[in-house]
Amino acid sequence: MRYIPVTSADREEMLKKIGIHFIDQLFDMPTDMLTHLSKPLNLPAPLPEMEVMALMEKFAKEGEIAASKTSFLGGGINRHYLPATISALISRGEFLTAYTPYQPEASQGTLQALYEFQTYIALLSGMDVANASLYDGATATAEAVLMAKRINKKGKTVYVSCALHPHYREVLRTYLQDVDIPIVELAFDAKTGKTILAPTMMNDALALVVGYPNYFGIIEDLKEAREVATKVGALLISVTTEALSLAILKPPGEFGVDIFVGEGQSFGLPPSFGGPLLGLIATKDAYVRNLPGRLIGRGKDKNGKDAFVIVIATREQHIKREKATSNICTNEALCATIAGMYLTAYGKTGLANLAKQNAVKAFRLREKLAKIPGVSIPFSGATFNEFVIRTKKSGAQLLRNLLAGRQIFGGINLSVHYHKNPKDILVSVTEMNTDEDMDKFVHALREILK
Amino acid sequence: MRYIPVTSADREEMLKKIGIHFIDQLFDMPTDMLTHLSKPLNLPAPLPEMEVMALMEKFAKEGEIAASKTSFLGGGINRHYLPATISALISRGEFLTAYTPYQPEASQGTLQALYEFQTYIALLSGMDVANASLYDGATATAEAVLMAKRINKKGKTVYVSCALHPHYREVLRTYLQDVDIPIVELAFDAKTGKTILAPTMMNDALALVVGYPNYFGIIEDLKEAREVATKVGALLISVTTEALSLAILKPPGEFGVDIFVGEGQSFGLPPSFGGPLLGLIATKDAYVRNLPGRLIGRGKDKNGKDAFVIVIATREQHIKREKATSNICTNEALCATIAGMYLTAYGKTGLANLAKQNAVKAFRLREKLAKIPGVSIPFSGATFNEFVIRTKKSGAQLLRNLLAGRQIFGGINLSVHYHKNPKDILVSVTEMNTDEDMDKFVHALREILK
Amino acid sequence: MIHSDTEKLIFEQGRAGRTGIDVEGVCLIELDDALSPELRRGPLAGFPEVSEPEMVRHYTRLSQRNVGIDDTFYPLGSCTMKYNPRINEAVASMKGFTNLHPAMPQTETQNAFRILWELEQMLNEICGMDAFTLNPVAGAHGELTGLKIIRAAIRARGEKRDKVLIPTSAHGTNPASAMLAGFTPVNIEVNPDGSVNLEALEKALDENVAAMMITNPSTLGLFETNIKKIADMLHAKGAFLYCDGANLNALVGIARPGDMGFDVIQTNTHKTFSTPHGGGGPGAGPVGVKKELVPFLPSPRIEKFDKEKFGKVLFVPVYDKQSIGRIHSYYGNFLVLLRAYCYLRTMGARGLREVAEAAVLNANYLRVSLAEIGYRVPFNRMCMHECLLTDENMPSGITTLDIAKRLIGKGYHPMTIYFPLTVHGAMLIEPTETETKETLDEFIQAMKEIAEEAKANPNLLHDAPHNTPVQRVDDVGANRPLNLNLRWKQQ
Amino acid sequence: MIHSDTEKLIFEQGRAGRTGIDVEGVCLIELDDALSPELRRGPLAGFPEVSEPEMVRHYTRLSQRNVGIDDTFYPLGSCTMKYNPRINEAVASMKGFTNLHPAMPQTETQNAFRILWELEQMLNEICGMDAFTLNPVAGAHGELTGLKIIRAAIRARGEKRDKVLIPTSAHGTNPASAMLAGFTPVNIEVNPDGSVNLEALEKALDENVAAMMITNPSTLGLFETNIKKIADMLHAKGAFLYCDGANLNALVGIARPGDMGFDVIQTNTHKTFSTPHGGGGPGAGPVGVKKELVPFLPSPRIEKFDKEKFGKVLFVPVYDKQSIGRIHSYYGNFLVLLRAYCYLRTMGARGLREVAEAAVLNANYLRVSLAEIGYRVPFNRMCMHECLLTDENMPSGITTLDIAKRLIGKGYHPMTIYFPLTVHGAMLIEPTETETKETLDEFIQAMKEIAEEAKANPNLLHDAPHNTPVQRVDDVGANRPLNLNLRWKQQ
Ligand SMILES: Cc1ncc(COP(=O)(O)O)c(C=O)c1O
Ligand SMILES: Cc1ncc(COP(=O)(O)O)c(C=O)c1O
């Protein structure tokens, strides 16, 4: 086996040293458990590398075809261009094949990359401090609520915008199911697409959770949310599923958000059928000891030289066990490193320009679509690079028509999660969409709705 | 511009230091030559990375389609599987972005990799010593003849097998055109496909050049070639265009070949539309100072520790100028490094098994094709993984038929270079050809020739 | 190679006006129409402005300040730092996988579903379980998922058990996951060799116990010999037995947790199934369960609908009513699972068995050899995939930490230290099956030198490492509230 | 990071029975049928037997014993060590290019031909030439090709000139190529500043001169101010003017060799057009010519046949009767040319001009700054893309070699040393346009420290470098006939 260097000579010598004669003697367990001889595993026969490659290329064909179609899919998994530098750098074995940087002297590369990532997320979110990653935006949202509970001992119920990504709400429900934090969902305004904040109903609030932008692409009013949260004594948690929006929108920190969470996939990760992703979390200095997950600090070595090292590990499970702020151990470190690379590759003006380009492109398409007879823009709220259209057809039917004849993924059918809006489609526009793509979409929609 | 970090502030500061005011003052040349202002270059407008990527992906589509067809093309560019380890390792910047290892203390990686490559080629060819690469098999053949001339001062004419790769002969002709080494081409035996060696005609011979295997895939008789060469006082040069054959055939060194040359593309380089390739050359210890190109030696550093370093550079142009053994400077170092990786990845048994598999597969296909009415195997000589078939149709027509209806590249039409054999096709079979590929070929041929 | 000994933060590099990847600006008037200025932020203050060559050099240099399995022996116990095959990386970067969007209609992504479905079947077979969810993205995430499943099953039974028993030698994620799942973790004392103390278990076991979490092989690298008895004890009380499968590498192809009485198991692909650790992730933590628990698996699951009924095979994500619900935004870490799939297709049954055999062989070879040169091996029995040493035999003042740091100086990544917590000065050494005997012998030699240095020149150890980009890091200092520095700030 | 300080040869690693990439064995009886045993060799004696993890670790470690542009400043004069864009690497690894076989029918590979054809047009425009061949695979190969073209043209004229004039400051490949092309190279003395001595030229110029090869900017980094006069002198005698275009980076977008009177030029893609140097290759050396010489270009050339005539645009490789013939097995280094193509599509006219401007700016900044700290800059005029120093101002005993080796110890790759040969103790420093001012300033600082060390502690320089995998290498020793060791041999 090409991954296992033990030869029969090696085996003999080592068995001898150990003082036994047969490999099976190594397995110091009840023999009735050693099932390998009686019942060898029933797995597909091993394939040589060339055949694995051929098989996987065959499997990948379908996806290549799908990915070559014109796409306006978004909804939390965002299509962005990946600079060629990134894959060249991230595949370096020193990054790829290292593990948790518990030994700082042997891990300054990973540590510094993560410290830079923390800085980037803090700068983007306008918060004081960010951690070194969580699993994804959805679990980050759940972790944020649990964190809020640790901070806000008085609050009881978490109020969650119904316009928050439906999957995030589902994950939140799973996480909170057995931990005595009731969830109340807040409806959204059918005109603006923004969450309806009714402070009078929320006086047991532990935390208030809103999307920024929300699932409909609408930029929620964080100023109002802050006021309401303060009024009811709740912590304000904002959730960003399209991290690129942070490069153009007023940062959550500016509104006094207590905990910012988000999905960082936009920063250099391909859609990847939904994973790996990159959970973001950031907060105020005062709450830093309540943060879940890993934190990298800048300290000194014994000669006083700058050195990076894991800090406040006393929050983490390997030290605090059941009293830890979270159970997270393995996180998304490599994805965080990628995000750092991505943000560096774009830089100050590049990232801002990219976000602007997304906003303008989405705006253009929205304007064009709105002019098509039979299409309306149901929500008046401002958007970044995603928006909802409403047509006279069912969303499912319309998307089928767009795909079948015209090879267009027209967006996400909102009726799956919002049964009351069966004709709404969530359309995402990024720098990946050319003017021709958009014209094609407009043209197709016009035809279908004729 | 993302590759050029000079900002306008940088520029100002630097100009000031230099003591000038404008960039144009840097260009200390007659102003009438500074054409950039009057006649800016007429080039396509610059494209952002994303658009270059899209453009090149579009261009690459055609090739993907072509490459997805069943192929039996060989003829000096061989289709072999590339282990996934190689691209991961060779793309490391420390290998990729270094240059000629003139400074050994900063280049031990490149130097050791090339020293190992030299060893591999010596082991495979059975010669004493190999260099660190030449451009390709064709120019290596030309260099070998020039080298022979330096060694064999008495000889005059080079006798070249007509069954040597036609492009190699063309390159040889170009190289020798102005340097007073006449070329005489030796015919091949129409029955065996082997070169006809007639010592009586060759008494002014400087060197004898034969393929091993030759262009028809036939394994030439190097024993006889050695005897003839010795008899007429010529150096024997053998040329291998499918380097994998060295893993199964008796090595040229065993026959007493004086200079071995070859094309190393089989060792980890994709077909690449014919380049970059990897010129191999190896010889006897006695002739080492006549070798063209770079040689890496194992020496010591000042503490007596093993160290690798360029040696006998006194043959090279940068020291010996017009008296150098060749003009070569930049060579194919990265390709040689790849070849070393490839040979390491396969190793002793893997490489032998691979060669055996090629031989067996080719044999099977040859047998099957030979049974088809209307197909014959014109040459009786033994072959490795390439062989010639002769049909009742013109080669060109047959190949068109195979491609058009059946998406098969059936081989190379030999009539382009061998006008007397208009119905001959050179078929190459490697590990890349599955049993289904071969059955498809057999089936198609049977149909076309019905 | 040698570099100027610090690499500046990226925020301290670059200069105003430099640009990286080029993006055209937009027309400001149009921008104002698209997004009103009052919603927009100012410039990205603090962001670096660097050119592409600066970016490439920065990250190249950072990587050179790290070690990985690719460049050295990395026997980090409990982490299974095995070789990460490059074909898996090649496959995981195929556009036909990376560019799949999870919102594409299911008909467009059948192969992705097929791969997930087939992977599930293979994991079932390897672990002896009835079904797997692939959605958890790490071991701890799997633990949480597994415990939630148990909770749902107990709830479905109409019961209300809220205790989870956890041996004191367990990994920290176990009690933390139990808390997160809303259970009360109860520590169960272990015997000195890390095995569960049956009397302690007996005592703690009551009708309020939902489950016990056991790591098998244990975090001390030893097989839990009484596992079937423990399973029977728990099952008799209506509790579930949970397997922390982080150490599965010792068992693959040899024995199956499902056959030992485990009801739930989480596996760690980044350990057993060769997916890269990436400096701390991403991983994947598929969770397998026995039949009784299948309805509670998280949503979605991939089901295969057969030809007979649908004209063609169809893979469909399904949502079970009894499911604990969603635990990840989509299907988990697809690209990580894809690598695990390739690995299993490469290894087959026989290959996996060789994995466990070689992993255990290597660990025992180290155990015996290191004991021979004077290190204390607390348990004189065969270990599984890792062996445990302590610093007890060292001259006074020499600690496990010193040994670890000295190993760094000798070019190695150290073993896991001070874990498990139940063993004083623990050094947990997991060589994995992908290391050569030569490497093990060199490592033994290095450990021997260290033992000698510990006597002859203890300061060499206290000061270690010497030749690294930074020397012994002062983590106490870095943690002092006034020093705490978690991000760069603009001056 | 730090490793055991030697990396064994791959031949000294592994063990019998280990396998790398797996290939099934064959049936021996069938093998005997396929290829008779008497034609076959025995086992590959001496070949290593290593597993994949060993292979990956070996090459990872070797790479870590090297420096490249990616990790440090590499101001190797005459080599244009500029940043190698990663997008070009990504494109050059697209299967749609790498898997093209040159024997595929032309109709299947039109885009590959189109790329080559368009690249030719862009090179024509950049250099001011009428046609280019892309077939030469390196600068020296281009020189040979260019000289062969000249020879063919002269032959076609019915003349028989056999001298090629070459300034003594020229790169070694120039005289070597002239020899290889069957010419007699004649050395032309240069002025101290490396420019052609017009009197010497006058004297040497006769009807037997086929061509003169001039590097412009010269190998001293200075523009050949008299170039038009020289061109006129040669043309008046019926000789050709050849441009060694290795230094084209100083001119792109600013001035065109074709406009200066050059008849032939070779370019080095691995220098000017950012293709990686790969530890010494592969490169590409396209050769451009003026109209008169077009018929003699090597075969094949790619021609574009127009829509009007053929219904669609068609790119076809053609073979001219007057051509010097084939100089490479196929079309040259296609994947290298592809990278150059991407680079030019990325840069455009304005980008190229910025290249030259920044390259020359950086070089002059170094020139002035290094002169200021005491290094001798022999020519007090603006340099082009590289600046030349000598060791003349150094304390006695300190040589250019010492300075270079000390730079290695400080984390840099040194400049080119002892070239050109006409300048004693030459240090040729080419920063390229892709380096930052900060890097240049740090380099200046390092050079300043070295100048101080040279006075205070000369042994520090003689002994340098200190912190590299190997220290000062004894190349004299390695070259002694008895020591000569060009390969590993089985004991
Ligand atoms: C025994 C054990 N259990 C659980 C875990 C947690 O796994 P993960 O880090 O993937 O969350 C680990 C991780 O190191 C472990 O060693
Ligand atoms: C001035 C000059 N001419 C020619 C060459 C030869 O180019 P190549 O190495 O590509 O053959 C070089 C290479 O360094 C050079 O510097």
The pLDDT tens digits for A321-360 are 888 999 999 999 999 999 999 999 999 999 999 999 999 9
Residue the block writes with tokens 């599955």: B434
Instruction: Return d(Cα D289, Cα B29) in angstroms, integer.
Output: 23
> Could you tell me which of A275, A351, A337 has the C-alpha nearest to residue A89?
A337
Q: Which residues line ligand 2 (CB under 6 A)?
A: B 329-330; D 78-79, 138-140, 171, 173, 215, 219, 244, 246, 268, 283, 285
Residue of A nearest to D87 (CA): A84
Per residue in B144-199, pLDDT (tens digit) is: 999 999 999 999 999 999 999 999 999 999 999 989 999 999 999 999 999 999 88
**Cβ-contact D127, D267 below 8 angstroms:** yes
Instruction: Return d(Cα A130, Cα A122) in angstroms, integer.
Output: 5
pLDDT > 70: percent of chain B:
100
Structure tokens, C383: 């270990």
Residues present in chain D in total:
491
Inform me whether the C-beta atom of residue C86 falls under 8 Å from chain D C-beta atoms: yes
User: Which secondary structure element, helix H or strand E, spans residue A403, and what is its range?
Assistant: helix A395-406
Say if the Cβ atoms of C51 and B49 lie within 8 Å. no
Per-residue pLDDT band at C311 (split at 50, 70, 90) = confident
Reply yes or no on whether the pLDDT at C317 is more than 90: yes
Inform me whether the C-beta atom of residue C17 falls under 8 Å from chain B C-beta atoms: yes
Count Cβ atoms below 10 Å from residue A98 Cβ, excluding itself. Answer: 31
- Spell out which residues of chain B touch residue C89, defining contact as CB-CB under 8 Å: 84, 88
Output the pLDDT for position C390: 97
Per residue in C270-280, pLDDT (tens digit) is: 999 999 999 99
What's B206's DSSP letter?
Answer: E
Write down the mean pLDDT value for chain C.
Answer: 95
Residue B248 Cα, gap to closest chain C Cα (Å)? 27
Kindly list the partner chains of chain D, i.e. chains with 3 or more CB atom pairs below 8 Å.
A, B, C
Reply yes or no on whether the pLDDT at B363 is more than 90: yes
Output the pLDDT for position C4: 46
Ligand nearest the Cα of residue C282 is 1
Mapped onto helix, strand or coil, the DSSP state of residue A281 is strand
Residues present in chain C in total:
491
Output the pLDDT for position A38: 78
- CA–CA distance from C296 to each of B100, C213, C214, C293 (Å)? 63, 18, 21, 6
Count Cβ atoms below 10 Å from residue D383 Cβ, excluding itself. Answer: 26
Instruction: Return d(Cα A312, Cα A324) in angstroms, integer.
Output: 11
**Cβ-contact A37, C353 below 8 angstroms:** no
Say if the Cβ atoms of D91 and B399 lie within 8 Å. no
Inform me whether the C-beta atom of residue A38 falls under 8 Å from chain B C-beta atoms: no
Residue C438 Cα, gap to closest chain D Cα (Å)? 9
Instruction: Return d(Cα A366, Cα D94) in angstroms, integer.
Output: 35
Structure tokens, D6: 């030697």
**Sheet containing A375-376, strands listed edge to edge, beginning at the edge strand earlier in sequence:** A375-376, A386-391, A424-428, A412-413
Output the pLDDT for position D2: 42
**Cβ-contact D179, D201 below 8 angstroms:** no
Domain boundaries, chain C: 10-63, 87-344
Interface of B with A in 265-324 (CB under 8 A): none
Radius of gyration of chain B (CA): 25
Say if the Cβ atoms of D16 and A9 lie within 8 Å. yes
Nearest CB neighbour to C54, from listed B5, B9, B87? B5
Reply yes or no on whether the pLDDT at D5 is more than 80: no
Per residue in A151-161, pLDDT (tens digit) is: 999 999 999 99
Residue the block writes with tokens 């949502």: C319
Say if the Cβ atoms of D47 and B46 lie within 8 Å. no
What's the CATH class of domain C87-344? alpha beta
> Could you tell me which of D54, D17, D11 has the C-alpha nearest to residue B119?
D11
Ligand 2 centroid distance, CA of B433 (Å): 41
Half-sphere exposure of B438 (CA within 13 A, CB side): 21
Reply yes or no on whether the pLDDT at C441 is more than 70: yes
Per-residue pLDDT band at B321 (split at 50, 70, 90) = confident
Per residue in A90-147, pLDDT (tens digit) is: 999 999 999 999 999 999 999 999 999 999 999 999 999 999 999 999 999 999 999 9
Per residue in D372-407, pLDDT (tens digit) is: 999 999 998 999 999 999 999 999 999 999 999 999
Reply yes or no on whether the pLDDT at D3 is more than 70: no
Strands A259-263 and A205-211: unpaired
Say if the Cβ atoms of D21 and A88 lie within 8 Å. no
Inform me whether the C-beta atom of residue B27 falls under 8 Å from chain A C-beta atoms: no
Residue of D nearest to B54 (CA): D91
Reply yes or no on whether the pLDDT at C221 is more than 90: yes
Reply yes or no on whether the pLDDT at B54 is more than 90: yes
Interface with D, mutate which of C7, C21, C57 (most D CBs under 10 A): C57
Kindly state the greatest CA–CA separation across chain D: 78
Q: Which residues line ligand 1 (CB under 6 A)?
A: A 329-330; C 78-79, 138-140, 171, 173, 215, 219, 244, 246, 268, 283, 285
Q: Is B274 left (phi over 0), alpha (psi -120 to 50) or beta?
A: left
**Cβ-contact B391, B425 below 8 angstroms:** yes
Output the pLDDT for position D78: 96
> Could you tell me which of D119, D74, D150, D132 has the C-alpha nearest to residue D416?
D74
Inform me whether the C-beta atom of residue B88 falls under 8 Å from chain A C-beta atoms: yes
**Cβ-contact D119, D337 below 8 angstroms:** yes
Structure tokens, D267: 């370019």
pLDDT > 90: percent of chain D:
94
Q: Which atom of ligand 1 is nearest to the CA of C271?
A: 10
Q: CA angle, D66 as apex, B308 and B305 as ends, to 5°?
A: 35
**Cβ-contact C310, C110 below 8 angstroms:** no
> Could you tell me which of A346, A126, A342 has the C-alpha nearest to residue A255?
A126
Output the pLDDT for position D1: 40
Output the pLDDT for position A385: 98
Output the pLDDT for position A39: 85
**Cβ-contact C205, C165 below 8 angstroms:** yes
Reply yes or no on whether the pLDDT at A223 is more than 90: yes
Q: Write the residue with the smallest CA distance to atom 10 of ligand 1.
A: C139
Per-residue pLDDT band at D194 (split at 50, 70, 90) = confident
Output the pLDDT for position B34: 86
| Helix B435-448 × helix B333-370 angle, to 10° | 50
Nearest CB neighbour to A85, from listed D21, D60, D86? D86
Inform me whether the C-beta atom of residue B431 falls under 8 Å from chain A C-beta atoms: yes
Interface of B with A in 151-170 (CB under 8 A): none
Q: Is A110 left (phi over 0), alpha (psi -120 to 50) or beta?
A: alpha
Output the pLDDT for position D236: 97
Inform me whether the C-beta atom of residue A81 falls under 8 Å from chain B C-beta atoms: yes
Inform me whether the C-beta atom of residue C484 falls under 8 Å from chain A C-beta atoms: yes
Say if the Cβ atoms of B83 and A431 lie within 8 Å. no
Per-residue pLDDT band at C1 (split at 50, 70, 90) = very low
Residue B431 Cα, gap to closest chain A Cα (Å)? 9
Q: Which atom of ligand 2 is nearest to the CA of D285?
A: 10
Q: Is A349 left (phi over 0), alpha (psi -120 to 50) or beta?
A: alpha
Output the pLDDT for position B3: 97
Per residue in B219-272, pLDDT (tens digit) is: 999 999 999 999 999 999 999 999 999 999 999 999 999 999 999 999 999 999
Output the pLDDT for position A41: 95
Ligand nearest the Cα of residue D266 is 2
pTM of the model: 0.97
Output the pLDDT for position C2: 42
Q: Which atom of ligand 1 is nearest to the CA of C283?
A: 10
- Spell out which residues of chain A touch residue D18, defining contact as CB-CB under 8 Å: 5, 7
**CB-count burial class (<10 Å; 0-12, 13-18, 19+) for B190:** exposed
Output the pLDDT for position A220: 98
Q: What is the dihedral of CA C392, C395, C400, C403, to 10 degrees?
A: -140
Enumerate the β-bridge partners of residue C473: A301
Ligand 2 centroid distance, CA of B327 (Å): 10
> Could you tell me which of C358, C356, C271, C273 has the C-alpha nearest to residue C76?
C271
Strands, E, within A123-272: which ranges?
Answer: 129-130, 157-161, 183-186, 205-211, 235-240, 259-263
Ligand 1 centroid distance, CA of C249 (Å): 13
Per-residue pLDDT band at D4 (split at 50, 70, 90) = very low
Per residue in C332-353, pLDDT (tens digit) is: 999 999 999 999 999 999 999 9
**Cβ-contact B339, B267 below 8 angstroms:** yes
- Spell out which residues of chain A touch residue C466, defining contact as CB-CB under 8 Å: none
Question: What's the 3-state SS for chain D?
Answer: CCCCCCCCCHHHCCCCCCCCCCCCCCCHHHHHHHCCHHHECCCCCCCCCCCHHHHHHHHHHHHCCECCCCCCCCCECCCCCCCCCHHHHHHHCCHHHHCCCCCCCHHHCHHHHHHHHHHHHHHHHHHCCCEEECCCCCHHHHHHHHHHHHHHHHHHCCCCCCEEEEECCCCCHHHHHHHHCCCEEEEECECCCCCECHHHHHHHCCCCEEEEEEECCCCCCCCCCCHHHHHHHHHHCCCEEEEEECCHHHCCCCCCHHHHCCCEEEECHHHHCCCCCCCCCCCCCCEEECHHHHHHCCECEEEEECHHHHCCCEEEEECCCCCCCECCCCCCCHHHHHHHHHHHHHHHHHHHHHHHHHHHHHHHHHHHHHHHCCCECCCCCCCCCCEEEECCCCCCCCCHHHHHHHHHHCCCCCCEECCCCCCCCCEEECCCCCCCHHHHHHHHHHHHHHHHHHHHCHHHHHCCCCCCCCCCECHHHHHCCCCCCCCCCCC
What distance lies between CA C436 and its chain's CA centroid? 23
Say if the Cβ atoms of A5 and D60 lie within 8 Å. no
Per-residue pLDDT band at D53 (split at 50, 70, 90) = very high
**Cβ-contact A210, A239 below 8 angstroms:** yes
- Spell out which residues of chain B touch residue A49, defining contact as CB-CB under 8 Å: 81, 83-84
Average the pLDDT over C205-221 and give the result. 97
Enumerate the β-bridge partners of residue D303: D316
Enumerate the β-bridge partners of residue D241: D212
Counted across chains A and B, CB pairs separated by less than 8 A come out at: 22
Half-sphere exposure of B259 (CA within 13 A, CB side): 33
- Spell out which residues of chain D touch residue B61, defining contact as CB-CB under 8 Å: 96, 111
Enumerate the β-bridge partners of residue A134: A279
Residues present in chain B in total:
450
Residue the block writes with tokens 């055949």: A51
> Could you tell me which of A331, B308, B333, B88 has the C-alpha nearest to residue C70?
B88
Q: Is D454 left (phi over 0), alpha (psi -120 to 50) or beta?
A: alpha
Q: Which atom of ligand 1 is nearest to the CA of A327?
A: 11
Mapped onto helix, strand or coil, the DSSP state of residue C324 is coil
Average the pLDDT over C100-105 and give the result. 97
Instruction: Return d(Cα D224, Cα B81) in angstroms, integer.
Output: 50
Ligand nearest the Cα of residue D246 is 2
Say if the Cβ atoms of C16 and B9 lie within 8 Å. yes
**Cβ-contact A136, C328 below 8 angstroms:** yes
